[in-house]
Amino acid sequence: MKLVFASNNANKIKEIQQLIPASIEIVSLQDIGCTEDIPETADTIEGNAILKANYVTQKYGLNCFADDSGLEVETLNGAPGVYSARYAGEPKNDENNMDKLILALKNEANKKANFKTVICLNINGEQLLFTGTINGTITDTKTGENGFGYDPIFIAEGLTKTFAELTMQEKSTISHRGIAVKQLVALLNTMV
């Protein structure tokens, strides 16, 4: 089975390929010749995942899945949320986003947050959603060299290391994306 992952993010593609059964070939947007930026104009994480999957399915007629993720900080009423990638403005920049968040939480006692991923799968005329969430806290400093996004400042509940201090394999077994992908894989395993 061939399935388009509506992403050009090499880190995400690598992370997901580790979790998908070998019998399913994952192809990127680049692989199908989709070079345009798919609009992410929804005001929810779920909405953006649906927009991206529908774009590929409607324009290319292919089975596809897309994800959208966000970091939701309790004391900031869920911000940056759907705007996580561009929290510090354009162009999107992980370092600037983390700096802005650390500054926003500087005088806050409550640093609870969660990472949330929603995957939208369009397959054989059906649309299914899978959600993964992991709770944790935001640190005051960046630690670790692995991962991407907010990984250097997020420590999951029950851990003492940031996501950026974990190996890709360690992270993918417990992360929000890993949780959602496991649900996706369970379904795909029934189809191959």
As annotated, the active-site residues are 68
Task: Tabulate helix, strand, coil % of the chain (nearest 5).
Answer: 35, 25, 40
- Token pair for 128: 């299914």
DSSP labels for 44-86?
SHHHHHHHHHHHHHHHH---EEEEEEEEEEGGGTT-EETTGGG
- Give the C-alpha separation, 157 to 155, whole Å: 7
Q: From CA 162, how far away is CA 121, in angstroms rounded?
A: 29
Residues with Cβ within 8 Å of 46's Cβ and at least 6 positions away in sequence, in order, are: 68, 118, 120, 129, 131
* CA gap 180, 188 in Å, rounded: 13
C-alpha–C-alpha distance, residues 32 and 30, integer Å: 5
Q: How far is CA 51 from CA 4, 5, 15, 144, in A?
A: 14, 13, 22, 33
